[in-house]
A and B are shown apart, each in its own frame.
Chain A
Amino acid sequence: MVETKNPVANSVMVLREEFDDWAVLFNPDTGQAFGMNPISVYIWKNLDGKHPVGEIVKDIRVNYNNVPGEVDEHVNKFIADLVERGFVGYKA
């Protein structure tokens, strides 16, 4: 089932941006770290509870070149993975 509420990043998570627009996402509770590519970083920054997934996808289409047609599927899958890991929830 597709979640209709706006996703929001867990405030515990730490995002460290680097010189090449990639970033490391760190979970202080578990010590886990994840490499994030520039579009993942862009998505992460928009997981503030104010942006529906559809709006994030729309912005990606506007702001990036060579966006694949199935970008909405990719974004939803990415966010679902973050939710599964407990890094993201949905605004009540």
Chain B
Amino acid sequence: MSECKCSDKTEEKRKFSLNCIYFYLTEGCNLKCRHCWIQPKYQGEGKQYPSLNFETFKSIIQQAKPLGLSSVKFTGGEPLIHPNISEMLDYVKEQDLRLVVETNGVAATPELCKKIKTCKNPFVSVSIDGSEADSHEWVRGVPGCFDKAIQGIKNLVEAGFRPQVIMSIMRHNKSQMEAVVRLAESLGAGSVKFNLVQPTARGEKMHESGETLTIEELLETGQWVENELSKTSKIKLYYSHPMAFRPFGRMFGDNGVGCGVCGIFGIIGVLGNGKYALCGIGETVPEFIFGDATVDSLKDVWENTKMLNDIREGLPKRLEGVCAECLMKNRCLGSCIAQNYYSNRNLWAPYWLCAQAYKRGLFPASRLMPKTTTKTLEYAK
């Protein structure tokens, strides 16, 4: 028997230590994914776009440790094509920081995989958007990248990892979800995470053109993953819909996969150009740029940026629309306020999926406060 779980944090317990930095290491990427919410420039053969300066990287880490830094995430663009990636990995190891890497796998050489493995409690995820080359490369935009990504996963497994496979689901590849799970199992992956295409940057264009799934399809697919597909696999499956749609048993039961809360109160992003930002959203929303690591003190940015302090003060109590009425809001925190701001230019706007589900009568009634107001519909488009 487990006791009550999923409790929220009370105001007085909140401490805003900087636990983790998301490093968006490169401005370019070796793939050109049609759903990317960062939309980096394509760095094909012979091209090189700016990336985070190694000395700046070290300076940021040194400034962050007194603020509470215990882990870093390398993402992109594509982190493994950074010209100093090997030295950066050495530095992360030397600083005894936990490492998470999000990669497309194409540049995951045996040498880099082994080096990542030497870092503290490392975790690696690799994006695979189809069970075969045609589908994956339709999403990823570069011929030949499927075989390279698969080889990258094999290199990670050879180095001792059980990497997570991340699949972004859309109309084009939805039928391959189960096949991707089987592929992941056969490769030695530890889990599969299904991401929803966010209506940001290139993903927004996909939503507009009808290439993404409808709200009904997203919710049905989520139920299928949570209640059926997950029972057929020995590896853990995650479906990235908000907590309101996730069965408690799948989050907190004996084989639960947790509730995947955004660590917004303890993270900051660093872009490839050295700018501090809320996260990668800073690439597309200038309001989320908080300073420049080459000139600004991280301590000052972390403690005195108005938007960060507004978020700390306002989440979750200032959330609006269906998020204000949701019983999960203390944990879910609006799912992704960067996305919510992108869509509405309002930090407190509700998450698009929840707002639209509520409008269609598909929001789980058991997760709503007893008296939901008509204002809840305000943001549903």
A interface residues (Cβ-Cβ under 8 A, vs B): 14, 16-20, 22-26, 28, 31-37, 39-40, 71, 74-75, 77-78, 81-82, 85
Contacts and interface: CB of A to CB of B under 8 A. Distances in A.
A51 B1 CA distance: 19
Contacts of A35: 4-6, 248, 251-252
A22 B1 contact: no
A63 to B, nearest CB: 13
B28 to A, nearest CB: 43
Contacts of B369: 26, 28, 31
A37 B330 contact: no
B186 interface: no
B374 interface: no
A32 B330 contact: yes
Contact of A20 (B2, B247, B367): B247
Interface string B331-356: 10000000000000000000000000
B199 to A, nearest CB: 27
Contact of B370 (A20, A28, A81): A28
Interface string B1-44: 11111111000000000000000000000000000000000000
B366 interface: yes
Contacts, number: 79
B3 A26 contact: no
Contacts of B331: 33
B73 to A, nearest CB: 27
8 contacts: A16-B367, A17-B366, A19-B247, A35-B6, A39-B1, A71-B1, A75-B1, A85-B4
What is the interface residue range for chain B against chain A?
A: 20 to 34
B8 A33 contact: yes
A37 B6 CA distance: 11
Given A26-B369, A28-B369, A20 B249 contact: yes
A85 to B, nearest CB: 8
A16 B248 CA distance: 12
B380 to A, nearest CB: 22
Nearest to A36: B4
Contacts of B367: 16, 24
Given A24-B366, A26-B327, A26-B369, A32 B252 contact: no
Contacts of B2: 37, 40
B328 interface: yes
B144 interface: no
B263 interface: no
B366 A40 contact: no
B253 interface: yes
Given A14-B370, A37-B2, A40-B1, A22 B248 contact: yes
B366 A16 contact: yes
A34 B6 contact: yes
